[in-house]
Amino acid sequence: MSTAVSSTEVSRPGRGRRLDRLPGGSHVADVGSLLAMRGGLAHGRAARRLGPVLVVLTVAVVVVPAFVGPGLGQGRAFDVLLLLPSGYAAFGGLALASAIASGGGRELLPREQATPYPVSAATDHLGALVLAPLNIAWILQAWLLLGGTSYAVGPAHLVAAQSVVVAWLLAATAVVQVLAWLLEALRRRPYGVWVVRALGLVLVATVAALQVTGTTQQALDALPTEVLVRAGVAGPAGFSGLWVATVATLLVVTVLAVVAGAWAAGVAARRAPREEVRAETGSRTPRRAPRTDVGALLRLDRASVWRAVPMRRGLVVLAVMPGLIAVLGALPWESAIILPGLVASGGALLFGVNAWCLDGRGGLWRESLPVAPGLVFGARALVLAEALLLASGGTLVMAALRAGAPTSAELAAVLAVWVVVVAQAVSASMTWSARSPYAVDLRSARATPAPPAVMVVYSAKLALTTTLTGLVFAVTARAPDPTVPLVTAGVFLLWSAVRLLRARDVWVDPVRRAGVVTTVAA
Amino acid sequence: MEVRDLVVRFGPVVAVDGVHLTAGAGASTALLGRNGAGKSTTMRVLAGVVPPTSGTVRVAGLDVVADPLAVKRAIGYCPDVGGLVPRATPWEHLQLAARLRRMRDWEPRARELLERFELGAEAHRVTAGFSHGMSRRLSVLLAAFHDPSVLLLDEPFDGVDPVGVEATMDVVADARARGAAVLLSTHLRELAVQACAEAVVLRGGAQVAVMDAAAMSGEEGARVYRGLLD
């Protein structure tokens, strides 16, 4: 029985009652109830520490660079200042890609669990907004903007400039949420999937055209986000009429976008998700029976990954978006070497960190089949590795278009980092999958394989590990001898293999395995 | 099938606390009890899915702890929840089962069962789009597919239409006729009486009665059963 306050209930005395009296307050109250129902989104020790850690790091990111930089208009601070408009725009672009890939936005309560409750589209929308920052990509970009702005403007303009950044983060997040719901609504129209794909191709073609015509720099200079930078540094200590107008405009846009998003979410919710429905009701051409046990296991596991619309879409977005950035920025190999790690981390977060949930309630039946558990583990890890290799490989192919011919050491380093980061992502994922399983229905693009706070912890760990690894290989790429990155890769792979074997030991243990299977099948 | 002093603990929770069960070849036993009585956990132990905390569990003469793979070859298990891989088709479920159980020339048998359970037209659709009743029917089919010597059916009638109930009854009858032991858990007492010769009643994880299933029939049987549950 639900203990949560819903929009259909008579309001209770206290906080909920006051909220209910506000326009849309019942939806806000419902979001609060849903958050409470999910245990405040905190599961586990690491997730509980997340809030304080994020606050401390954010304060450090906001304050410290201002006092270590040379000051407004000086040296490298001026270079950073010139890059900020592109950074603001990139934040909006990547936030939009994330919201679109997740089918409009993350869900506060899984679809199956939400069915008995009167959760309105407006509540759903507000929940997606609350969850949007609980995403490592959002957090890292926000830190990048806050830190970059702090470094560029120095202590004198810090408060004014950072208030513009915060207002921009709010406005951009709310606006991209509206766009994401509208695209989701469009995707659910007849032929909507094709229209959305065509829009994606138009975007790629536009980027290509800018590159071919050599007008990328002009396009970036013409971005309207340039006003955000001017607003933060215009007057004494940054406060000016422009600052007031900019911050006020951004806050008004935020409020309007929050309201418009509720409407757009309603439009999307009234339409059936055609692509997902077709995937669940269409017939599959039968293939001949597999010849080996591992072949049979791999076939079913691959079907679980590649037949899921959200996973296919997520892997494509993960491969293409960093690839586009590499093409747009003409990233050299020493920079592009970071990209496979980010893609592999993102891919693991689609399903790998809770890999056994792919079986859903079929896990109990699969566990009753006569097959060695080690073989089952190997097949699942291999299918995860395949998906990550494919996505990160796609990014590398795109990056190669502008990165130029690599030296032998660069080529060795890129290939080595590609394999190493995938091995890291797989070993970490399989470890977490066995240690902390969750019952999740991944049919919805809006679902995540673990609760949102846990996802932030996982994504932070993966991003940190793979990015640092990428930096190590960026150094080895400068070595005169290509064997240096290969030998380095051997060390990293050995450690990943040890981790993977430990995770396998956990899975092979019948008591631990029973815990995993009964949890994901619950 | 022989269970002695079975205890299953999940941390501080004791799910099963002292169950004894014996079922020979051709016997069919109903496992009855309220929600949380330990029926599904007992089934999972017999299927080799959950290891027992203590006690002795032998299935088809094999110890579930010492030789779990051999036990899994001997049993056919229909779990109480779902039991299907969401993005695989029924045919792919059957292919996996046939491969891992080393079955030869299994396709005619698979087609016959799919038709019997009225799933022939759905053989190549992913199961995520199946109704609850269709999923239950397919789970029973998968359990019976390889003619196991021990058939474990956990809530096979839940949400199933009369055609599905009839097909499940046929599967139980066929299994008994060829000498398999059948253990069937359900809340539908009359169907349990119809399908099984013996009934075991669990309460709070412990066994409270073993009796002829016929004694559970009708209004008098309902009164007896209710008395055992309280």
Q: What is the ipTM of this complex?
A: 0.94
Q: At what angle do helices A452-476 and A408-435 cross, to 10 degrees?
A: 160
Q: So what's the pLDDT on residue A45?
A: 62
Q: So what's the pLDDT on residue A139?
A: 87
- Reduced 3-state DSSP string for A193-219: HHHHHHHHHHHHHHHHHHHHHCCHHHH
Position with higher pLDDT, B170 vs A210: B170
Distance CA A43, CA A501 (A): 26
The mean per-residue pLDDT over the stretch A55-80 comes to: 85
Q: Is the pLDDT of residue A16 over 70?
A: no
Structure tokens at B213: 């299933």
Phi, psi of B53 (to 5 degrees): -75, -40
CA distance, residue A461 to nearest chain B CA (Å): 29
CB-nearest to B98 from A289, A367, A515 is A289
Q: Is the distance from CB of B20 to CB of B200 less than 8 angstroms?
A: no
Q: How confident is the model at residue A256 (pLDDT cuts 50, 70, 90)?
A: very high
Q: So what's the pLDDT on residue A23?
A: 53
The mean per-residue pLDDT over the stretch B155-177 comes to: 92
In percent, how much of chain A has pLDDT > 90?
42
| pLDDT tens, position by position, A139-189 | 888 998 999 999 998 888 888 899 999 999 999 999 999 999 999 899 888
Q: What is the pTM of this model?
A: 0.85
Q: Give residue ranges of B with CB < 8 Å to any A CB.
A: 10, 44, 47-51, 68-70, 72-73, 75, 77-79, 81-89, 91-93, 95-101, 123-129, 139, 142
Q: Domains for chain B: give ranges and CATH numbers.
A: 2-80+150-229 (3.40.50.300)
The mean per-residue pLDDT over the stretch B49-73 comes to: 93
Q: Is the pLDDT of residue A94 over 90?
A: no
3-state helix, strand, coil in chain B (%, to 5): 40, 25, 35
Residue B80: C-alpha distances to residues A369, A522, B18, B172, B175 (Å): 16, 10, 21, 17, 20
Position with higher pLDDT, B128 vs A14: B128
Position with higher pLDDT, B203 vs A415: A415
CA distance, residue A361 to nearest chain B CA (Å): 5
3-state class (DSSP) for residue A445: coil
CB-nearest to B82 from A283, A284, A361 is A361
Q: So what's the pLDDT on residue A68?
A: 86
Q: Is B41 exposed, middle or buried (0-12, 13-18, 19+ CB in 10 A)?
A: buried
Q: So what's the pLDDT on residue A141?
A: 87
Q: How many residues belong to chain B?
A: 230
Q: Which residues of A touch B100 (CB under 8 A)?
A: 293, 296, 369-371
Q: How confident is the model at residue A412 (pLDDT cuts 50, 70, 90)?
A: very high
- To test the contact with chain A by mutation, choose from B44, B46, B85, B153 the residue with the greatest count of A C-beta atoms within 10 A, namely B85
Q: Is the pLDDT of residue B230 over 60?
A: yes
Q: So what's the pLDDT on residue A230?
A: 87
In percent, how much of chain B has pLDDT > 70?
100
The mean per-residue pLDDT over the stretch B141-159 comes to: 94
Q: So what's the pLDDT on residue A136?
A: 78
Phi, psi of B19 (to 5 degrees): -95, 135
Q: Is the pLDDT of residue A112 over 80?
A: no
Distance CA A268, CA A259 (A): 15
Q: Which residues of A touch B68 (CB under 8 A)?
A: 510
Q: Is the pLDDT of residue A208 over 90?
A: no
Q: Is the pLDDT of residue A291 over 70?
A: yes
Q: Which residues of A touch B83 (CB under 8 A)?
A: 361-362, 364-365
Q: So what's the pLDDT on residue B89?
A: 95
Strand partners, B37: none
CB-nearest to A300 from B51, B68, B88 is B88
**Strand-strand pairing, B54-59 and B62-63:** antiparallel
Q: Is the pLDDT of residue B218 over 90?
A: no
Q: So what's the pLDDT on residue A47?
A: 65
Position with higher pLDDT, A50 vs A295: A295
Q: Is the pLDDT of residue B5 over 70?
A: yes
The mean per-residue pLDDT over the stretch A483-488 comes to: 93
The mean per-residue pLDDT over the stretch A362-390 comes to: 96
Q: Is the pLDDT of residue A191 over 60?
A: yes
CA distance, residue A501 to nearest chain B CA (Å): 21
Q: Is the distance from CB of A290 to CB of A301 less than 8 angstroms?
A: no
Q: Is the pLDDT of residue A505 over 80?
A: yes
**Contact check, Cβ <8 Å, B100/A293:** yes
Output the average pLDDT for chain B.
91
Q: Is the distance from CB of A416 to CB of A461 less than 8 angstroms?
A: no
Lowest mean pLDDT of A22-26, A201-205, B123-127, name the range: A22-26
Nearest chain A residue (CA) to B104: A289
| pLDDT tens, position by position, A225-249 | 888 888 888 877 777 888 999 999 9
CB atoms within 10 A of CB A294: 16
Give A390's Cβ-side CA count (13 Å radius): 16
Position with higher pLDDT, A31 vs B104: B104
Q: So what's the pLDDT on residue A422?
A: 97
Q: How confident is the model at residue A506 (pLDDT cuts 50, 70, 90)?
A: very high
CB-nearest to A521 from B81, B87, B128 is B81
The mean per-residue pLDDT over the stretch B153-169 comes to: 91
Residue A436: C-alpha distances to residues A192, A237, A520 (Å): 37, 49, 10
DSSP state of A158: H
